[in-house]
Chains A and B, each alone.
Chain A
Amino acid sequence: MKRVSLALSAMLAVAPALAAESSDPIKLTLHDWSGQLITTKLMGEVLKEAGYNVEYVQADYIAQFAGLKTGDLHVAMEIWETTGREAMDEAFATGNVVNLGETGLQAIEEWWYPSYMKERCPGLPNWEALKDCAKEFSTPETAPFGRYLGGPVTWGGFDEERVEALGLDFEVVHAGTDAALFAELEAAYQRQDPIMLWVYAPHWAPAKYDGEFVEFPPFSPECYADPSVGVNPDAAYDCGKPRGPIWKVSWAGVADKWPGAAKAIENFNLSNADYGAMVTEVDLNGKSVEDTVATWMTDNKDTWSGWIAK
């Protein structure tokens, strides 16, 4: 009953604007991590409340750009500055894909360790502590070097270069997928074994496991580009990883075909805290994405009705 009245009020608010818009379904892409499912379903449900037809399409994170360019797919709700920049720039250059602004979420990617490692390596989270206790992080394959489990090679990240530039005695091992990455973390955490790995936020892992990011010298574009900048005058990449927003991206035709929807998507804004709470509900407490989104929508009616009202 409540949903019906919500829908009605939303309909009344935007109905006049809608008359001129297409009734074709707007296709939103779904990937395989819960956070993205939440942002997408949230946007989709809000658009449905505003009277649009919405369709969810499963697509690969990078491969989807081919579809966005041709208009097969319409909206991608989470393109991370950190991993999607290259693909985004290439797509924007064609003119068929446009940026609909930030989601409000901030991506962090960095070296991460569980709190119990602090006892074995007391100077953490300062990166300089790693110079002396790399062997605390070693395994039989890498000894005497420490083992750092990096993301899949496709994520980039310049960790080999970082290890060189900062003179850390670590060997970089690449996981193939992020499932493998967090499987190792889970296993090591259960045994309280040493581990140092690539963790990103927003994600459920920093909420589930007690630990922190290593504090490297802060990132700057010059640090990556110019060897003379930073702690090591002879090498680039002697600093941490960039942090950046998560973007919303769409096919260029969306603004013409569904101007109101394009506006609503541009207005979409979510905080790291809200997002983190929803991801925890889904991944750790086993609630379904749909229920979580519905709960958020009843609790934050003013927020989302603001997106479609403007």
Chain B
Amino acid sequence: MIARGAKSGWLFWGPLFAVTWLLSSYSFQLYKALDARWIVRYPKGWELPLEDRISAFLDWLVESAGFYFFSFRDLTRAISALIEAPYQVLRNLLVEGFSNGFGDAAVQIAPALSWIAVIVTIMAIGHYARDWILSVLVGACFFYLAVFGQWESAMVTLASVLISVPIGVVGGLLLGILAYRVRWFERMMRPILDLMQTVPVFAYLVPILILFGFGPVAALVATVIYAMPPMVRITIVALNSVPKEVIEAGRMAGCRNRQMMWKVLVPSAVPTLMVGVNQVIMLTLNMVIIASMIGAGGLGFDVLSSLRRLDIGGGIEAGLGIVAMAIALDRASQAFAERSIRHPLEGNILQRHPWSGTVFLVVASTLILGQFAPAIRTYPDALTITTGPFWSNAMQWINVNFFDTFEAIKTVILQWLLLPVKKFFTGIPWPWGIVATALIAWRVGGWKIGLLAGLLMTFIAASGLWPKAMVTIYLCGVSVLIATIIGIPLGIWAAESPRAGRVILGLMDTLQTLPSFVYLIPVVMLFRVGDFSAMIAVILYALAPAVRYAAHGLKEVPPALIEAGLMSGCTKRQLLWRIKLPLATPHLFLGLNQTIMLALSMLVITALVGTRDLGQEVYIALTKANAGQGIVAGLSVAFIAIITDRIINALAAGQRERLGI
């Protein structure tokens, strides 16, 4: 049975590849022979005027759309005022202090929280969530921010995180609940969530700026759009996986619908829901750089401005500041997810609430002492340290001594991998490209997915973005290939040896939260502007899921099966190759899927080092404030992501079925 399947598989994939390869190599000759230029270039006349339509629609929305009493823009501006108010309070609390009046007439009412007070508060939260170890860890992360002179920027970033995370979590929860309750709403939400996650943020920044006004609020809105989808998805999964018995018990106790949701379903789903909260926090921090481009300020802005003056050390320090904050918030939120219910303490109010009491005392005393000792209010400049010169010197040393080696490696990879693959993809005539994608999708996942893939690819061609889309696919394809080749062995290693695992997974966490801009500039210094630099940046960013899912997949293999393998006398190698890896393939596919998604989301950033793909199109649209162009290019990126997602999910499902899991 399996043998026959494999054979017919070759009959399909072999000819498909051969035809594609032939058409790609000879498309130019074909065009000359048939005198049909439309084969290689999508004719201008057939392009859909989507860009202009979308731009015109947005103009209408902003200028004249209205309900009876107020315009659409009044609505968005009201929302923006609603978000701005608490944000401003937080900023006053953490950064600026409270004052009355403006400019010279300003009278300070109260200063901002002292750095000591903030660190004690976060340590208290850490201890409350788990134990002293966590408390010291989060305290150290925040202390890093003070020591490296980033306190003020970090507090600006913290203020925006503290606003966008609750909005993302509550919004996601409510949408998830609605989707759980109402079938058609879920069906409608699914494609919207896909788009929210895959359309590059740059694509919708311009409309958001116009609708929500310039400044931090627009950045907050963009962040929420980007960070909310996982919360919605996880809510749906969490509610669906609440055990039947629990629901039954709720019914027996006579719960009404509302009581059922809030008293039974949501509380019993909390551990899973916390995973969503954690995702929202991480994605919010991922957005810090992009948000700072449109007015969020904070650590992201420090990274950008340091790198603009080639202060690599400054960029790395500010970037690690974001990582430190991510680690602190991530560990604390995970601890909350695993926190078991404890018995309330006995005694008087201070004994019952030791941490709230301490925090209150510290806040009050630093407030008073800060009036006399400025070092208590703000961390003294004299005690900050910087490693800037070290990084710059290290970079110079590598650059001067190893450039030739790098250049040689780069030339080989360019010549034997990048350029041939690029030629293959960019050579494919667009009509065949559409047909081939549809065929692949049909073969793997059935006619529905095949039709979807064909339609989405047609959209890309009809927007006149075919050549750029092909460059995108080539760049992502090569990067994902290399990321997988490096990532899966690392993941296997991490799973087999716990000690190595801790180091590797820690490194992956850092790579994922460190803003890519930080390593983009050193990469350019060593490899010059071009596809190669872009590829390295994409690999560095997209490596993490390949490693993580491989490690996770191997660990999830049922122990009984491993026992069985050992009993039948497998060597270590046989155990890995014959039992663990095949059983872990569904996880490996998921990892591949995530790697591709991250590679695609990185594309817009690589446009900053001069690639000529859809990312560049999105970036140009942003710098020209052309909303239509940005959205069309962004949708194209999203469509490529959606097609690959569907194909790989179908592959994983097929594999799971074959393995009987």
> Is B614 an interface residue, CB under 8 A from the partner?
no
User: In the complex the two chains form, is A58's CB within 8 Å of B407's CB?
Assistant: no
Among A65, A187, A191, chain B packs the most CB atoms within 10 A around the CB of A187
User: In the complex the two chains form, is A25's CB within 8 Å of B297's CB?
Assistant: no
> Is A62 an interface residue, CB under 8 A from the partner?
yes
If A48-B104, A51-B103 touch, whether A176 touches B611 (CB-CB below 8 Å) is: yes
Among B307, B411, B606, chain A packs the most CB atoms within 10 A around the CB of B307
In the complex formed, the residue of A with least CB distance to B520 is A180
In the complex formed, the residue of A with least CB distance to B106 is A53
User: In the complex the two chains form, is B102's CB within 8 Å of A60's CB?
Assistant: no
User: In the complex the two chains form, is A66's CB within 8 Å of B609's CB?
Assistant: no
> Is B353 an interface residue, CB under 8 A from the partner?
no
Stretch from B210-218, B441-449, B636-644 that touches the partner: B210-218
> Is B477 an interface residue, CB under 8 A from the partner?
no
**Which of chain B's residues have a CB closer than 8 A to the CB of A191?**
399-400, 403
Query: Which residues of chain A (286-309) have a CB below 8 Å from chain B?
Result: 286
User: In the complex the two chains form, is B294's CB within 8 Å of A63's CB?
Assistant: yes
What's the nearest-Cβ distance from chain B to residue A276, in Å? 14
Of the candidates A174, A177, A204, which one forms a contact with B309 in the assembled complex, judged by CB atoms under 8 Å apart? Answer: A204
**Which of chain A's residues have a CB closer than 8 A to the CB of B56?**
none
Q: Report the Cα distance A18→B310, complex, angstroms.
A: 43
Of the candidates B102, B311, B608, which one forms a contact with A177 in the assembled complex, judged by CB atoms under 8 Å apart? Answer: B608
If A51-B103, A66-B625, A154-B624 touch, whether A58 touches B528 (CB-CB below 8 Å) is: no
What's the nearest-Cβ distance from chain A to residue B611, in Å? 7
Q: How many CB-defined contacts (below 8 Å) exist between A and B?
A: 144
If A58-B301, A141-B530, A190-B396 touch, whether A173 touches B610 (CB-CB below 8 Å) is: yes
What are the interface flags for B295-318 relative to A under an 8 Å C-beta threshold, 1 for contact and 0 otherwise? 111000100110111110000000
Q: Report the Cα distance A154→B407, complex, angstroms.
A: 28
Query: Which residues of chain A (11-29) have a CB below 8 Å from chain B?
Result: 11, 23, 25, 29
User: In the complex the two chains form, is A63's CB within 8 Å of B213's CB?
Assistant: no
**Which of chain A's residues have a CB closer than 8 A to the CB of B411?**
140
Q: Report the Cα distance A54→B213, complex, angstroms.
A: 18
Of the candidates B295, B297, B396, B525, which one forms a contact with A184 in the assembled complex, judged by CB atoms under 8 Å apart? Answer: B525
Q: Report the Cα distance A29→B296, complex, angstroms.
A: 13
> Is B54 an interface residue, CB under 8 A from the partner?
no
User: In the complex the two chains form, is A186's CB within 8 Å of B610's CB?
Assistant: no
Q: Report the Cα distance A53→B105, complex, angstroms.
A: 9
**Which of chain A's residues have a CB closer than 8 A to the CB of B516?**
none
User: In the complex the two chains form, is A60's CB within 8 Å of B622's CB?
Assistant: yes
**Which of chain A's residues have a CB closer than 8 A to the CB of B524?**
180, 183-184, 187
What are the interface flags for B527-559 relative to A under an 8 Å C-beta threshold, 1 for contact and 0 otherwise? 011100000000000000000000000000000
Of the candidates B213, B305, B521, which one forms a contact with A183 in the assembled complex, judged by CB atoms under 8 Å apart? Answer: B521
**Which of chain A's residues have a CB closer than 8 A to the CB of B607?**
176
User: In the complex the two chains form, is A180's CB within 8 Å of B529's CB?
Assistant: yes
What's the nearest-Cβ distance from chain A to residue B295, in Å? 4
What's the nearest-Cβ distance from chain B to residue A258, in Å? 13
User: In the complex the two chains form, is B525's CB within 8 Å of A179's CB?
Assistant: no
If A34-B305, A48-B104, A60-B623 touch, whether A176 touches B206 (CB-CB below 8 Å) is: no
**Which of chain A's residues have a CB closer than 8 A to the CB of B238?**
none
**Which of chain A's residues have a CB closer than 8 A to the CB of B214?**
29, 57, 59, 64, 67, 72-73
Query: Which residues of chain B (587-623) have a CB below 8 Å from chain A?
Result: 606-611, 616, 619-620, 622-623
If A57-B214, A140-B407, A184-B529 touch, whether A23 touches B625 (CB-CB below 8 Å) is: no
Range class of the A interface residue count: 35 or more
Query: Which residues of chain B (214-250) have a CB below 8 Å from chain A?
Result: 214-215
In the complex formed, the residue of A with least CB distance to B315 is A179
Query: Which residues of chain A (125-159) have a CB below 8 Å from chain B?
Result: 139-141, 149, 152-154
**Which of chain B's residues have a CB closer than 8 A to the CB of A54?**
103
**Which of chain B's residues have a CB closer than 8 A to the CB of A140?**
407, 411
User: In the complex the two chains form, is B308's CB within 8 Å of A187's CB?
Assistant: no
What's the nearest-Cβ distance from chain A to residue B597, in Å? 22
Q: Report the Cα distance A189→B102, complex, angstroms.
A: 48
Q: Report the Cα distance A255→B35, complex, angstroms.
A: 62
Q: Report the Cα distance A307→B530, complex, angstroms.
A: 47
In the complex formed, the residue of B with least CB distance to A178 is B308
> Is A182 an interface residue, CB under 8 A from the partner?
yes
User: In the complex the two chains form, is A183's CB within 8 Å of B310's CB?
Assistant: yes
In the complex formed, the residue of B with least CB distance to A51 is B104
Q: Report the Cα distance A54→B305, complex, angstroms.
A: 22
In the complex formed, the residue of A with least CB distance to B531 is A141
9 interchain residue pairs of minimum CB distance: A187-B525, A53-B102, A58-B295, A176-B610, A176-B608, A283-B309, A67-B214, A53-B103, A183-B524
- B residues at A contact (CB < 8 Å): 102-104, 205-206, 209-210, 213-215, 292-297, 301, 304-305, 307-311, 396, 399-400, 403, 407, 411, 414, 520-522, 524-526, 528-530, 606-611, 616, 619-620, 622-625
New contact pairs (20) apart from A173-B529, A184-B528, CB-CB < 8 Å: A25-B103, A32-B301, A32-B305, A33-B308, A52-B103, A57-B214, A58-B296, A60-B623, A60-B625, A63-B206, A63-B623, A140-B411, A174-B529, A176-B608, A176-B619, A184-B524, A187-B525, A190-B396, A191-B400, A193-B403
